[in-house]
A and B are shown apart, each in its own frame.
Chain A
């Protein structure tokens, strides 16, 4: 599998939320990197677990929570960048 770009990861996450984004007057491309999925109410605390599991399985990676602080975990920019970094061949 080709390693994903941060943009592809971002699209994958936001694609499933376009109805909720539309309710906030946003399209996926408007969403700034600092947008916090949790604080903006797009997911709840259980949803975080689901998204991380989805990303781990989709890209066959394992999050190391020491590398990604909890505050960044739910921000779209840092989260997508982390998945790209983690998926890159070492």
Chain B
């Protein structure tokens, strides 16, 4: 445990646990378990190679990881941090073009690759003007003295890319100081210890994965990835892996419920159940609380720009939900400050709705190499300093109760917890189809999970070809489920072409 107020970088937090609990499991994935000692040695091996291959201190202090969710991926993350760099996660399941774009924009000189993905990584790197070094970690390393840099507060921890409304993903550089502020906040709140086992259900490209890893590793706990197929038998995963802390997007929990995996009393060993990434319905929270009778259930909220999560609400089963039947997003945790503001950035009164503004040490400086996007979303507030305008509409409740989530002020939607800016999808559609297009989020199935429907004004369009082209540049969740070819894009009541007009058509078809 780290005393609040004392800065210790992520690598040091891990090292303390590795000293205190060398033989305890640190990570389990794809049937392989590494103890703290084993993970430490592997990561040290990677850190040493990184220092050899990329000794320079100029340029971005970033190295990429290209691996499936395996112990190799976790060792790579830790190795990069021990090297004193931040990690840039690529995703083998993303299209080559997207991974290449992220790699190029990050300017990484080295990519740590797991052996299965070496060919794919070669393809990725080959067409870059300055191809990075591909590094396949050698596995466990003998103990040797390596002088490693200590991550300063301003050292990068990770660089992630989220959907961008200008048609291009936005980079968010999160520094050590941001993550450390988050970890101190959750440490105080959740009291994790070395007997805890945390579920790990996120790709590294999703910042919620950073909670699992770093919250576990600073407390000597274990990160548990479900093996192939295990998630289809969730009670088996929780039981066999001995999971005590569950952390997922609500969509995953909803899926488990549909699989019949959410029956009362099913998960007695869970002591903490955390949800984040999208709106949590009271119905689901109640169902989960019944399945995990010994568990605290919390709804967390936080954009990548404010580091993983920055508000939380402890749900009492059966209590009154907030607006729209959702569990409130609660109050700020740690040193985060929240403020609900109107269009002129004036705080709204109690009982009024406005945009949520976040301040404090978890808020990042701005977007990676994008001053215009930074200027749109980051502001300096008297009293709060550097702050992030979330684009989320929330209700400031009467009497200072927990904040309630209402929706977006812009056209961002969530798919399985992933942020999607509809403008980015539209930009891809218009480029590939060479025609005007409108994309909307729409519940396409009775269970109501949102997918994207696109209208394209190009009557002779080959939609099979278009779908293929989109799949080559967008992650699967951003490819529209339905591509509808029309003569002209629909108009709304004011004769304007907009998403509302498309939504009205879909509504009328129900």
Contacts and interface: CB of A to CB of B under 8 A. Distances in A.
Shortest Cβ-Cβ A-B pairs, 9 listed: A45-B231, A57-B451, A57-B444, A57-B481, A70-B232, A56-B445, A38-B228, A45-B226, A58-B481
Nearest to A49: B255
Contacts of B260: 65-66
B475 to A, nearest CB: 9
Nearest to A37: B228
B186 interface: no
A47 B258 CA distance: 16
Interface in B424-456: 444-447, 449, 451
B202 interface: yes
Interface of B: 68-69, 92-93, 96, 116, 119-120, 123, 201-203, 226-233, 251-252, 255, 258-260, 416, 444-447, 449, 451, 467-468, 471, 476-477, 481-482
A61 B228 contact: no
A53 to B, nearest CB: 6
A53 B93 contact: no
20 contacts: A15-B468, A16-B476, A19-B120, A19-B123, A23-B119, A38-B229, A45-B201, A46-B201, A46-B203, A46-B252, A49-B251, A50-B416, A52-B255, A54-B481, A57-B444, A57-B445, A57-B451, A58-B481, A62-B447, A70-B259
Contacts of B451: 53-54, 57-58
A81 interface: no
Contacts of B467: 15
B116 A61 contact: no
A53 B233 CA distance: 17
Contacts of A46: 201-203, 231, 252
B120 A23 contact: yes
Interface residues of A, number: 31
Contact of B445 (A45, A48, A60): A60
A60 to B, nearest CB: 6
Contacts, number: 90
A56 B93 contact: no
Contacts of A57: 444-445, 449, 451, 481-482
Contact of A45 (B119, B232, B449, B471): B232
Contact of A62 (B93, B446, B477): B446
A27 B202 CA distance: 29
B69 A44 contact: yes
Nearest to B118: A23
Given A15-B471, A57-B444, A58-B481, A41 B231 contact: no
A43 B68 CA distance: 9
Interface string A69-87: 0100110000000000000
Which secondary structure dominates chain A's binding surface? helix
Contacts of B251: 49, 53
A88 interface: no
Nearest to B415: A53
A41 to B, nearest CB: 7
B482 A58 contact: yes
A61 B227 CA distance: 27
Contacts of A41: 68, 116, 228
A31 interface: no
A26 interface: no
A72 to B, nearest CB: 11
A16 B107 CA distance: 27
Given A23-B116, A23-B119, A23-B120, 14 more contacts: A39-B229, A44-B68, A45-B228, A45-B229, A50-B416, A53-B416, A53-B449, A56-B445, A57-B481, A58-B482, A65-B258, A66-B260, A70-B232, A74-B232
Contacts of A56: 444-445, 447, 449
Nearest to B477: A50
Given A57-B481, A58-B482, A65-B259, A74 B476 contact: no
Contacts of B258: 63, 65
| Highest count of chain B CB atoms <10 Å: which of A50, A52, A62 | A50
Contacts of B259: 65, 70
A26 to B, nearest CB: 14
Interface string A15-46: 11001100100000000000000110101111
A45 B227 CA distance: 7
A58 B123 CA distance: 31
A32 B5 CA distance: 58
Given A50-B477, A53-B451, A65-B259, A43 B93 contact: yes
A45 B224 CA distance: 13
B31 to A, nearest CB: 12
Contacts of B231: 45-46, 48-49
B477 to A, nearest CB: 6
A52 B418 CA distance: 16
B228 A19 contact: no
Contacts of B232: 45, 48, 70, 73-74
B252 A49 contact: yes
A20 B227 CA distance: 19
Contacts of A16: 471, 476
A54 B471 CA distance: 13
